[in-house]
A = this chain, B = another copy of it.
Amino acid sequence: MATVVTDSADTQEGPRAEGAPSPTLAERYRAVRAHSERLCETLETEDYVVSSMPDVSPTKWHLAHTSWFFETFVLAPNDPFYKPLDPKYAFLFNSYYVQAGERHCRAQRGLVTRPTVQEVFAYRRYVDDHMLSLLDRLEHTDVVTLGLHHEQQHQELMLTDIKHVFWMNPMRPAYLKNSGHGISDMGNGSSPDSPVPPISHLPSPMSAVPEGVYQIGHTDPSFAFDNETPAHRVFIEPFSIARDLVSNREYLAFVDDHGYHRPELWLAAGWALVREQKREAPLYWERTPDGWTEFTLEGTRPLDLDAPVCHVSYFEADAFARWAGKRLPTEAEWEVAARTVPDLARLYGDRWQWTQSAYVAYPGYKPAAGAIGEYNGKWMSDQWVLRGSSLATPPGHSRVTYRNFFPSDTRWQYSGIRLASS
């Protein structure tokens, strides 16, 4: 039995251009804030207002809440002369930070027509002006960096949320008229629903990883969320992991093999949902006389069989794996494989990958003090960890230790499947 402690730096999904100077904090602030607004370029005013299900927030709310974050955690504590643009915004745009004061009921976010979209953009300007004049003078900039990563998380949600809003509309509007639209240069080079390189080898070859004690978790001085720490050792029994994601073609074979009608393939809670909601396929798939289609940010189109399957829940990922005679990896297996196996495709920037690890604290985990400590820690029940990142994840927001997390039945994220086996 080998005892291996990996000490490589946390792998970033893309290399930075050699020799390019690091951007300043103000440059990064401007870039991230601008990216949020660029994502809205194709929206109509009406699109900003609604919430199509409890998980989905209005675009307008995302734009305001990310500004409220800077206002509450940077401007208010650090700028003694700062006056909020509107004192009611603190109530309206606080998401879930109980220690930061009373907040508006989440279920009613989609009912709030005022402030208008224009007023929300003015709020962003107001916060930006104050932030940019404060940044130089600021001694501790950690919370600013956190706020930028926070905004990036909301950038991904803005895309998944508007996709769901459009899906719930019988008019089936398109967010992007076609892939040639300017927005397709969304910062990571493409729209979340633009074509991806085909998955060619079916089933994916598996790579073996030897047993051993490995270290996982964040170590280097770069930014990470508190839930990625502390780095710690895990023992991993020998396992294999798929080099590529599961494709729509493979998932369709599961569907065609009556996968949604065979209880023995499903967790009990998943099976109950499948029956109750008469599910037959991933979210956004529709069976038509001409074959399966999928709804995308570019409208409805024929299902791309060679693309990785997307918008599946944990229940679906788990059932598919059982059908395929495999299982989902644990998050430790995923991280070790990502660090040590050279030929793994689509780790980042394609589909979030469900793991069979529940989202709990790493040994020795300590959340930050105060309201900021509510960021990650209080969600550690009844969720699963997803690893990697997706086509909707903004650039610079992926890393090998990143722990995304969602409940078992979540489907509106860009979530897919990478298989493993013991």
Q: Which residues of A contact B (CB under 8 A)?
A: 1, 3, 44-52, 60, 88, 91-92, 96, 98-99, 104, 108, 110-117, 165-166, 168-171, 173, 211, 213, 232-235, 237, 239, 263-264, 266-271, 314-315, 318, 327, 330, 356-358, 360-361, 363-364, 373-374, 378-382, 407-408, 422
Contacts and interface: CB of A to CB of B under 8 A. Distances in A.
Given A98-B271, A112-B170, A318-B381, 9 more contacts: A99-B264, A110-B110, A110-B111, A112-B169, A233-B235, A234-B235, A268-B378, A270-B381, A382-B407
Given A46-B46, A46-B116, A114-B171, A381 B408 contact: yes
Nearest to A238: B363
| Central interface residue in A92, A314, A356, by most chain B CB within 10 Å | A356
15 contacts: A46-B46, A46-B49, A46-B114, A92-B170, A98-B263, A112-B169, A113-B169, A114-B171, A267-B380, A267-B381, A268-B379, A269-B382, A270-B381, A314-B381, A382-B382
Contacts of A88: 170-171
B50 A113 contact: yes
A318 B378 CA distance: 11
Given A165-B111, A381-B269, A358 B361 contact: no
Contact of A363 (B233, B267, B269, B422): B422
Contacts of A50: 49-50, 110-113
Contact of A381 (B51, B60, B170, B315): B315
